[in-house]
């Protein structure tokens, strides 16, 4: 399916359909409340933030998916996350978050699910998508979330279009339930398959009850100082053993993985901030400008400045998802 500028026109308008119940917002308290909010048959709710409300404070039910079509700020605990157009945030149960729009017309879809939404069909189908299967099965986890920046991937955009259309437009309830569950499985499969380029590790909690997530989160929080020895010491391992363990977990050496994490974060800073390339270089732990430029071009076949020029227009803040 080819996605054109007219594809998203019905989305926010279709949410006014009475058959689909959604959030109600209490502007004075700046929170949303649940008033017949869950679709009683299918255990979900979906909404956008009204134009006259700039921010909300909310709490995830069992599982929440935020779909961004404009640049917004998300605050979870002590973390402030800039979510760009064409990004999706998955939030686990019990996570409090504050969502701030930049402009009143900005569009964010909030898809919030009750635990009964994830029936045996969905769970069995995402069992081979470890990122989402693990996220769903976390117990007693606090502030667990994953941010994906799918960079206007046409296949993911197509799936999102069908998923949101199914939720907001079709009135044949039985068929709709089957279809949007299938589409959610497809969406998770697509993101899991492409998680290396699309998962924003620095702006995700990374499920730190798992070894892989714990290590990646530590590295993304310590770009400038992390070494094999210091990381091994932090996790109480001998450097030699940790090096072997790291290769087993990530299928590449510590140095290569750390370099890729630095470059991924640099790439994101190029389009989410106005920092100079020199400032970004230092932010992600490079001291040699020529090495930074050479490494960036080796990984992405484009220089940092060319990347910023090319992709800034792609990620620029839009007035609505039809543009």
Domain(s) labelled CATH 2.60.120.810 in the chain stretch across 7-207
pLDDT at 173 (0 to 100): 62
- DSSP class of residue 94? T
| Encoded tokens for 165 | 């259309």
List, edge to edge, every strand of the sheet that includes 31-33.
24-26, 31-33, 55-59, 96-101, 72-76, 79-83
The 10 Å Cβ neighbour count of residue 230 is: 12
Helix axes 211-221, 254-272, angle to 10 degrees: 60
Query: Along the 323 residues of the chain, how does pLDDT read in single tens digits?
Result: 233 333 333 333 433 333 333 333 333 233 333 443 444 445 777 777 777 777 788 788 788 999 998 889 999 988 999 998 889 999 988 888 888 888 877 888 888 888 888 888 899 999 999 899 988 888 776 788 999 998 778 899 999 989 988 887 775 666 788 899 999 999 999 999 999 889 999 999 978 778 888 899 999 999 889 999 999 999 999 999 999 999 999 999 999 999 999 999 999 899 888 999 999 999 999 999 999 999 999 999 999 999 998 887 666 544 333 33
d(CA 275, CA 306): 15
78 burial class (0-12, 13-18, 19+ CB within 10 angstroms)? exposed
Q: Is the dihedral of CA 104, 109, 115, 116 positive or negative?
A: positive
Domain with CATH 1.10.10.60 in the chain: 223-319
pLDDT at 172: 60
What is the C-alpha separation between 33 and 160, in angstroms, rounded?
26
Domain 223-319 fold is: Arc Repressor Mutant, subunit A (1.10.10)
The tokens for 278 are 């020199």
**Are the C-beta atoms of residues 184 and 162 closer than 8 Å to each other?**
no
Beta bridge partners of 101: 72
What pLDDT shows up at residue 196?
Answer: 87
Enumerate the β-bridge partners of residue 108: 68
* Gap between the Cα atoms of 136 and 205, Å rounded: 14
Please tell me the CATH code under which domain 7-207 is placed: 2.60.120.810
**Contact indicator for 307, 269 with CB cutoff of 8 Å:** no
138, 185 contact by CB (below 8 A): no
């Amino acid at each position: 399916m080819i996605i054109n500028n007219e594809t998203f026109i019905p989305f926010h308008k279709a949410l006014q359909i009475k058959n689909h119940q959604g959030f109600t917002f209490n502007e004075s308290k700046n929170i949303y409340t649940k008033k017949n909010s869950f679709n009683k048959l299918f255990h979900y709710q979906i909404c956008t933030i009204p134009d006259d409300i700039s921010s909300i404070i909310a709490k995830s039910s069992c599982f929440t998916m935020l779909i961004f079509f404009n640049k917004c700020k998300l605050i979870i605990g002590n973390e402030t996350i800039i979510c760009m157009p064409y990004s999706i945030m998955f939030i686990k149960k019990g996570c409090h978050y504050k969502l701030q729009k930049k402009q009143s017309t900005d569009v964010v879809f909030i898809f919030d699910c009750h635990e009964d939404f994830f029936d045996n069909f969905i769970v069995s189908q995402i069992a081979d998508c470890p990122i989402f299967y693990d996220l769903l099965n976390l117990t007693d986890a606090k502030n667990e979330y994953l941010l994906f920046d799918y960079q206007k991937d046409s296949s993911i955009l197509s799936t999102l279009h069908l998923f949101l259309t199914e939720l907001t437009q079709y009135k044949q309830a039985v068929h709709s339930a089957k279809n949007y569950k299938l589409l959610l499985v497809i969406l998770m499969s697509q993101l899991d398959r492409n998680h290396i380029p699309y998962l924003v590790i620095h702006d995700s909690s990374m499920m730190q009850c798992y070894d892989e997530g714990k290590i990646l989160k530590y590295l993304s929080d310590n770009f400038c100082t992390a070494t094999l020895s210091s990381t091994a010491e932090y996790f109480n391992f001998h450097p030699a053993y940790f090096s072997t363990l790291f290769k087993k977990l990530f299928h590449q050496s510590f140095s290569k993985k750390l370099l890729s994490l630095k470059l991924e974060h640099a790439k994101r800073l190029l389009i989410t901030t106005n920092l100079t390339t020199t400032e970004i270089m230092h932010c992600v732990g490079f001291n040699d400008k020529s090495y930074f430029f050479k490494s960036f071009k080796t990984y992405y076949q484009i220089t940092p400045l060319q990347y910023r020029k090319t992709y800034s227009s792609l990620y620029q803040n839009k007035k609505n998802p039809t543009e």
